[in-house]
């Protein structure tokens, strides 16, 4: 357990001496020794806004988070989805920030941004270079205090359409996407704010109007219901001064009181079910438990881990390992007003869920009889400690924790209490919460079955929602008024950033082991962890010599993740969990990679386990049979998903049916059926070689500590590995549309592109990515502004180059509303053709240079980012200063060069356009576009083609766009 010795100053005495203007210092926490703590200062402004500042000068980066204590739990019956809808509207401009400018300004500043909504809170956040702190605060304050006059009916309608697309993409049309909705409706009483999802119901969005939305903002989005958290390379005094300037004059909103509700009481087990477009039946049993940070939460988390948390869980032993289920797990998600113990089983096709329910209930009885063990708790505690520490790897992670603790606990310093609560869990606690919340208690039992397979449900539905006894509360919407801040400065003046921060590329050390393995590393002592990635070139593409066994690399990696000669799979997992470490083998297209994550104090035993996993795999026959079956079932599952179908067929069009690159890394049913355990052993013995392998080390290790630690790799034999050869790729003689029928699909997946370039860091590929940035590489790109922001047809659209050492494609892609499929193809092509013909605008060129030129500050912050940077250097044999050369190219590149790149590398006349959608609804519209339409099956085999007589003129689309005007307005607003 980490020792908690904190310097906490509750400042009755110091407040007056340490205040800046309106802001009163409430608390200051510093680190004393090596305890787990996030240092901060907490202030309160006179309008009720809470300000938290975390000072961390390790990287020239600032993260700004504004968390409003409002989520879907503040909504009312018939008006669900408002909190999430408002998250979208908050990006649509305010009095002093033009339409679509929020994303543009932050991106142009080299930053990233987003927002998120859950049951209990909504947050908006930016990570920006240090010199853009004032700009971020200006933007957040403007939408807090000056939003409503900029909310128009037109914006409302476009974002309503976007939210509908999001619901369709992430819920209605995603396998098992409605599980939480069905559970929530059955678990919580009618009118309970958790009885609907954050996304809300479409019918509620349809019946709402812009005034409903404005009232929601006025009720819940005042500064007194918000926490502003700023962390990173800042001085607290400067942050407080700027917060006072931009937020201090915003009037407080109505008072917001805390809500507490009793846990649901279930009079009997509630069975509910629905049919879905899935292959595998799913069973979920849900018991109501306790809210977030309740004293019983850690013990319930531990109970979930014992029941279904990994290879040592009861569900794994009783369901997964004997192949009675594809997957089985348990979790304990909690929210502000309640929690749920979720027991989930994904069964095999044709297996009734009643049998899965019986095994779950038998497993609960088994737990009751054997009880939790000390080792169970030890594993759980170690993982909890590692999770909390790893969550602090970035300034965003630290700021997010501070904001959440303040919002829900009124205590930013809660991390020490949380660690103490988890490390104090005992076996008696776990048994007690089982008896209190599970034993003899009723649950919601949800069955999700393939369409037409109602016979597989666990039990007939016996529950319907009742409105009996419901009385709507007073949400306080009467008499709301919109009061704007009165300032002594001009808010319309966008703050001028300071000079760009000096970005320091990580100091790098290099070494070569005795077997010629190259090692590259950098020290990062912000948190006491170590991240190691060992890359073995080859991967899936090694199957090119025997494509009839494609998928063998993935199956070999899965087998290596089981047991070793010394440990069974369960014992191996137990040893890692007791250390809070992970060692995993992954197979990609071009390489296999061993990922190692450890707390520094546990590195040596973790590396000993890594050596076991890498060099002494068990290759057990029972494990092989189970994993092979799971891989075949995963292929069958993926083959029913439009996104996967689109990716697979698109690759086949690009690379040709004979190429290993056209076969997914997971393989096909036929190829995986061909693989034997002896094949896996032979693949491992032949290709898992030190030859050309390399390692990346990032973490709390000096060079002198890291080099000896990596010596465990020196006994690894460097067996020669043959080079992979690829078949010739098919040429594209003209642009065609390829259509794959996905019956009744409410959305269409669009992929369009062609083979372009291999990766290079400072040559044509890099310059092509610069060229693409305004077209489809940023949120404010032409493609996304058109299809998402102007039309509301998609949740997101983009274009990108994706080369590696091999020639890779240029791709434009989106999932679009089915009835806008042909129009979306028109707009995609219109944007690509216009950019190909007319090139970049001066405003776009300046935006691209500013955005990419300043984002280096964000590129090397976390261990994961540092490892990726070092991995590129060693993989492509780059000079460590290649980023300086990129910066020179970026700043010197001209409009003429970009225009020439667009003409050269955008090929609108020779593209594959793939549409996966409902043929009955989309084919006729596609045939009117003037391209040959070729029908393919879901494997990419040709069915038939058709050609219209008179091609239409794509440039003169019947679907007008306001995009160019909106871009012009945005440029004018920002002074361009």
Model confidence pLDDT, tens digit, residues 298-343: 999 999 999 999 999 999 999 999 999 999 999 999 999 999 999 9
Q: What is the pLDDT of residues 391-420, one digit of tens each?
A: 999 999 999 999 999 999 999 999 999 999
What's residue 807's pLDDT? 94
- 31-58: average pLDDT: 94
Percent of the chain scoring above 90 in pLDDT: 84
Q: Which residues of 840-871 are buried (b: 16+ CB within 10 A; e: fewer)?
A: bbebbbebbbbbbbbbbbbbbbbbebbbbbbb
First to last CA, the chain: 56
What's residue 20's pLDDT? 45
Per-residue pLDDT band for 18 (boundaries 50, 70, 90) equals: very low
Per-residue pLDDT band for 740 (boundaries 50, 70, 90) equals: very high
**Residue 765 vs residue 501, higher pLDDT:** 765
- 8 A C-beta contact, residue 428 and residue 373: no
What's residue 950's pLDDT? 44
**DSSP annotation of 793:** -
Q: What is the pLDDT of residues 246-270, one digit of tens each?
A: 999 999 999 999 988 999 999 999 9
What's residue 945's pLDDT? 63
Q: Outline where 311-352 has alpha helix (H).
A: 314-315
Per-residue pLDDT band for 944 (boundaries 50, 70, 90) equals: low
Closest CA to 210 of 159, 252, 141: 159
> Cβ neighbours of residue 203 under 8 Å, at least 6 residues apart?
none
What tokens appear for 279 in the block?
């292959």
What's residue 744's pLDDT? 86
pLDDT, averaged across the chain: 92
pTM, full prediction:
0.90
DSSP string, 643-668: HHHHHHHHHHHHH-TTSGGGS-TT--
C-beta neighbour count of 57 within 10 angstroms: 11
Contacts of residues 962-965 at CB distance under 8 Å and 24 or more positions apart, as own/partner, are 962/790, 963/782, 963/785, 963/786, 963/790
Per-residue pLDDT band for 874 (boundaries 50, 70, 90) equals: very high
What's residue 21's pLDDT? 55
Q: Residue 16 pLDDT more than 60?
A: no
E strand or H helix that includes residue 157: helix 153-167
- 8 A C-beta contact, residue 223 and residue 252: yes
Burial environment of residue 876 by CB neighbours within 10 A (0 to 12, 13 to 18, 19 or more): middle
- 8 A C-beta contact, residue 332 and residue 291: no
Q: Which residues of 919-953 are buried (b: 16+ CB within 10 A; e: fewer)?
A: bebbbeebbebbbebbbbebebeeeeeeeeeeeee
Closest CA to 342 of 329, 351, 352: 329
What tokens appear for 281 in the block?
């039946």
- 157-170: average pLDDT: 88
E strand or H helix that includes residue 912: strand 912-917
Q: How far is the C-alpha of 231 from the C-alpha of 233, rounded, in Å?
A: 7
The helix/strand/coil state of 426 is: coil
The helix/strand/coil state of 697 is: strand
What's residue 644's pLDDT? 94
What's residue 10's pLDDT? 39
E strand or H helix that includes residue 238: helix 236-247
Domains and CATH numbers, the chain: 37-247 (3.30.830.10), 270-456 (3.30.830.10), 509-713 (3.30.830.10), 736-973 (3.30.830.10)
Q: How many CA atoms lie within 13 A of 571 on its CB side?
A: 10
Q: How far is the C-alpha of 6 from the C-alpha of 467, rounded, in Å?
A: 50
Q: How far is the C-alpha of 292 from the C-alpha of 119, rounded, in Å?
A: 12
- 105-125: average pLDDT: 95
Strand residues in 79-215 grouped as ranges (E): 112-117, 122-129
C-beta neighbour count of 154 within 10 angstroms: 12
DSSP string, 525-539: -SSSEEEEEEEEE-G
What's residue 843's pLDDT? 96
* Beta-bridge partners for 275: 449
**DSSP annotation of 228:** E
Q: What is the pLDDT of residues 610-632, one digit of tens each?
A: 999 999 999 999 999 999 999 99
- 8 A C-beta contact, residue 450 and residue 276: yes
- 8 A C-beta contact, residue 573 and residue 310: yes
Q: How far is the C-alpha of 579 from the C-alpha of 602, rounded, in Å?
A: 6
Q: Residue 962 pLDDT more than 50?
A: no
Q: How far is the C-alpha of 125 from the C-alpha of 143, rounded, in Å?
A: 12
- 873-879: average pLDDT: 94
C-beta neighbour count of 424 within 10 angstroms: 13
What's residue 946's pLDDT? 62
- 8 A C-beta contact, residue 579 and residue 601: no
Q: Which residues of 202-224 are buried (b: 16+ CB within 10 A; e: fewer)?
A: bebbeebebebbbbbbbbbbbbb
Q: How far is the C-alpha of 479 from the C-alpha of 673, rounded, in Å?
A: 68
Q: How far is the C-alpha of 289 from the C-alpha of 292, rounded, in Å?
A: 10
Which value, to the nearest 10 degrees, does the dihedral of the CA atoms of residues 205, 209, 212, 216 take?
Answer: 60
Total residues belonging to the chain:
976
| Residue where the block lists tokens 């404005």 | 214
Q: What is the pLDDT of residues 507-551, one digit of tens each?
A: 999 999 999 999 999 999 999 999 999 999 999 999 999 999 999
Q: What angle do CA 324, 329, 330 make, to 5 degrees?
A: 140
| Residue where the block lists tokens 């689309």 | 957
Closest CA to 221 of 254, 257, 194, 259: 254
What's residue 969's pLDDT? 35
- 843-853: average pLDDT: 94
Closest CA to 418 of 447, 395, 384, 446: 384
**Residue 442 vs residue 4, higher pLDDT:** 442
Q: Residue 816 pLDDT more than 50?
A: yes
Q: What is the pLDDT of residues 73-98, one digit of tens each?
A: 999 999 999 999 989 999 999 999 99
- 691-707: average pLDDT: 96
What tokens appear for 164 in the block?
């509908």
- 8 A C-beta contact, residue 72 and residue 117: yes
> Cβ neighbours of residue 565 under 8 Å, at least 6 residues apart?
612, 616, 617, 618
What's residue 499's pLDDT? 84
What's residue 613's pLDDT? 98
Q: Outline where 395-502 has alpha helix (H).
A: 395-409, 415-423, 427-437
> Cβ neighbours of residue 763 under 8 Å, at least 6 residues apart?
none
């Amino acid at each position: 357990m980490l020792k908690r010795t904190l310097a906490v100053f509750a400042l009755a005495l110091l407040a007056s001496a340490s205040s800046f203007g309106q802001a009163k210092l409430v608390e200051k926490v510093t680190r004393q020794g090596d305890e787990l703590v996030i240092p901060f200062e907490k202030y309160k402004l006179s309008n009720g806004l809470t300000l938290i500042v975390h000072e961390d000068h390790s990287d020239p980066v600032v993260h700004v988070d504004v968390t409003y204590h409002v989520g879907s739990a503040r909504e009312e019956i018939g008006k669900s989805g408002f909190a999430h809808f408002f998250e979208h509207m908050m990006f649509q401009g305010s009095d002093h920030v033009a339409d679509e400018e929020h994303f543009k300004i932050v991106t142009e500043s080299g930053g990233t941004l987003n927002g998120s909504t859950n049951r209990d809170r909504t947050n908006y956040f930016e990570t920006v270079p240090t010199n853009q702190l004032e700009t971020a605060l200006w933007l957040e304050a403007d939408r807090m205090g000056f939003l409503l006059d900029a909310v128009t009916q037109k914006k409302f309608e476009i974002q309503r359409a976007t939210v509908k697309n999001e619901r369709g993409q992430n819920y209605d049309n995603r396998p098992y996407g409605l599980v939480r909705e069905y559970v929530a409706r059955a678990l919580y009483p009618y009118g309970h704010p958790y009885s609907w999802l954050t996304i809300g119901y479409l019918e509620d969005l349809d019946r709402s109007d812009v005034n409903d939305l404005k009232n929601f903002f006025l009720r819940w989005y005042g500064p007194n219901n918000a926490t502003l958290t700023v962390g990173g390379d800042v001085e607290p005094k400067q942050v407080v001064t700027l917060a006072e300037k931009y937020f201090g004059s915003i009037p407080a909103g109505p008072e917001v009181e805390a809500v507490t509700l009793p846990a649901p009481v279930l009079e009997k087990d509630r069975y509910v079910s629905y049919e879905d477009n899935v292959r595998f039946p799913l069973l979920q049993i849900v018991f109501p438990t306790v809210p977030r940070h309740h004293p019983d939460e850690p013990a319930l988390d531990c109970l979930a881990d014992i029941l279904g948390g990994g290879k040592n869980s009861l569900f794994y032993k009783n369901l997964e390992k004997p192949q009675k289920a594809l997957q089985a797990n348990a979790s304990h998600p909690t929210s502000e007003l309640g929690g749920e113990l979720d027991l989930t089983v994904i069964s095999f096709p044709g297996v009734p869920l009643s049998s899965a329910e019986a095994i779950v209930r038998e497993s609960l009885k088994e737990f009751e009889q054997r009880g939790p063990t000390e080792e169970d708790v030890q594993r759980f505690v170690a993982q909890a400690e590692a999770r909390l520490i790893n969550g602090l790897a970035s300034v965003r992670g630290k700021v997010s924790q501070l904001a959440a603790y303040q919002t829900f606990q009124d205590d930013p310093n809660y991390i020490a209490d949380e660690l103490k609560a988890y490390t104090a869990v005992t076996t008696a606690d776990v048994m007690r919460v089982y008896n209190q919340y599970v034993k003899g208690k009723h649950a919601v039992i949800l069955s999700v079955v393939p369409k037409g397979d109602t016979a597989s449900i666990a039990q007939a539905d016996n529950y319907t929602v009742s409105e009996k006894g419901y009385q709507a509360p007073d949400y306080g919407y009467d008499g709301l008024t919109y009061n704007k801040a009165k300032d002594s400065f001009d808010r319309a003046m966008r703050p001028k950033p300071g000079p760009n921060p000096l970005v320091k590329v990580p100091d790098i050390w290099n070494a070569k082991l005795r077997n010629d393995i190259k090692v590259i590393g950098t020290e990062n002592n912000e948190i006491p962890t170590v991240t190691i990635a060992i890359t073995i070139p080859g991967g899936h593409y090694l199957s090119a010599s025997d494509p009839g066994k494609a998928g063998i690399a993935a199956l070999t990696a899965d087998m290596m993740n089981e047991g070793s000669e010394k440990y069974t799979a369960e014992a191996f997992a137990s040893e890692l969990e007791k250390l809070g470490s992970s060692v995993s083998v992954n197979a990609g297209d071009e390489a296999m990679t061993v990922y190692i994550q450890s707390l520094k104090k546990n590195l040596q035993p973790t590396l000993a386990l890594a050596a076991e996993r890498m060099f002494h795999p068990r290759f057990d026959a029972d494990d092989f049979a189970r994993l092979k079956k799971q891989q075949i079932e995963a292929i069958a599952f993926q083959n029913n998903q439009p996104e996967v179908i689109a990716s697979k067929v698109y690759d086949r069009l690009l690379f040709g049916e004979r190429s290993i690159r056209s076969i997914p890394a997971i393989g096909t049913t036929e190829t995986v059926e061909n693989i034997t355990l002896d094949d896996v052993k032979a693949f491992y013995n032949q290709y898992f070689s030190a030859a050309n392998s390399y390692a990346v080390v990032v973490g709390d290790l000096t060079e002198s500590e890291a080099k000896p630690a990596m010596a465990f790799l020196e006994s690894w034999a460097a067996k020669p590995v043959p080079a992979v050869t690829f078949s010739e790729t098919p040429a594209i003689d003209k642009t065609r549309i390829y259509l794959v029928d996905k019956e009744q699909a409410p959305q269409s997946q669009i992929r369009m592109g062609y083979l372009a370039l291999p990766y290079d860091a400072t040559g044509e590929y890099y310059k092509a990515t610069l060229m693409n940035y305004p077209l489809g590489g940023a949120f404010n790109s032409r493609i996304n502004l058109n299809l998402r922001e102007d039309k509301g047809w998609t949740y997101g659209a983009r274009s990108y180059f994706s080369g590696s050492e091999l020639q890779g494609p240029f791709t434009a892609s989106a999932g679009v509303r089915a009835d806008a499929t042909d129009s979306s193809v028109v707009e995609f092509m219109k944007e690509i053709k216009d950019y190909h013909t007319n090139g970049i605008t001066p405003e776009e060129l300046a935006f691209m240079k500013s955005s990419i030129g300043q984002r280096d500050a964000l590129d090397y912050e976390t261990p994961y980012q540092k490892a990726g940077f070092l991995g590129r250097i060693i993989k492509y044999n780059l000079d460590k200063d290649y980023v300086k050369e990129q910066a020179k190219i970026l700043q010197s590149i001209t409009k003429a060069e970009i225009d020439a790149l667009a003409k050269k590398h955008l090929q609108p006349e020779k593209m594959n356009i793939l549409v996966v959608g409902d043929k009955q609804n989309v084919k006729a519209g596609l045939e009117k576009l003037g391209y040959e339409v070729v029908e393919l099956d879901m494997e990419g085999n040709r069915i038939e083609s058709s050609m219209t007589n008179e091609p239409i003129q794509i440039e003169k689309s019947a679907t007008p766009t306001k995009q160019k005007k909106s871009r012009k307005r945005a440029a004018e607003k920002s002074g361009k």
